[in-house]
Chain A
Amino acid sequence: MILSVRDFSIGFQREGESLVAVDGVSFDVEEGETFVIIGESGSGKSLTGMSVAGLQPPTAFVSGSIRFKDREMLRRPDAELRKMRGPEIGLIYQDPLSSLNPVWPVGDQIAETLTAHGLADRAEARKRAIEMLERVRIPDPHRVAAAYPHEISGGMRQRAMIAMALAAGPSLLIADEPTTALDVTIKAQMLELLAELKREMALTIVLITHDMGVVAEVADRILVLYAGRIAEIGPADAIMLQPSHPYTAALMTSAMISQTPAKQDLNAIVGGAPGLGSFPAGCRFHPRCPRAQHDCLSVEPPRRKFGTVELACHYPIEAAMPLEIARG
Chain B
Amino acid sequence: MSVSSQTARRALKRPKGLLLPLALLVVAILAAFVLLPGLIAPHDPIALAMADRLKPPSLTHIFGTDEGGRDVFSRIVYGTRYSLGVAIVIVFASALFGVVYGAVSGMASRGIDNLMMRIVDLFFGFPALVLALAVAASIGRGLDSVALSLAIIWWPGYARLVRGEVLRLRERPHVEAARALGVSEITILRRHIISFVIQEVNVRVTTDIGYALVAVTALSFLGLGANSPTPEWGLLIRDSRSYFGSAWWYLVFPGTMIMLTATAFSLIGDALAARRAA
A contacting B, Cβ–Cβ less than 8 Å:
no
